[in-house]
Amino acid sequence: MQIEVLKSKLHRATVTNANLNYEGSISIDTELIKLAGMHNYEKVDIYNINNGARFSTYIIPGNKGEFCLNGAAARMAQPGDKIIIVTFTWIDDKEADSWVPQVVLLDDQNKPKEAGKHEMKSGTLVNV
């Protein structure tokens, strides 16, 4: 049987811009896309830490440090908001107990503080 699991995560990205008059997507720094194991045009779910909004869109390549919400997604966050960007994949359930996602923890300037396979545990606190 196949199950859907977290594949990768960009954690606590700071929204740099919101462009309502553009095709829907999120522009992400190309180096961070690669570091997180994500891909251009891949579907992502986005969770806005500031207002609780949750929505889906897709990735397009962006400039250094950029997290710009485009089109309808621009209504879901504003510059300065903290967001979490995640992708999922399907794996065989026999692999589930040993699966570990790729996680990039970001600082306030959208620079990686930590990156790699990252086990998450209950009660883990994030230094803000």
- Residue among 89, 49, 46 nearest 69 (CA): 46
Considering the candidates 8, 22, 25, 47, report the single residue annotated as catalytic: 25
Considering the candidates 22, 41, 58, 98, report the single residue annotated as catalytic: 58
Q: Is 58 a catalytic residue?
A: yes
Produce one character per residue of 106-125: b if its CB has 16 or more CB atoms within 10 Å, e if not. beeebebeebeebeeeeeee
Q: Is 25 a catalytic residue?
A: yes
Quote the tokens at residue 95: 């692999």
Q: Tell me the catalytic residues.
A: 25, 58
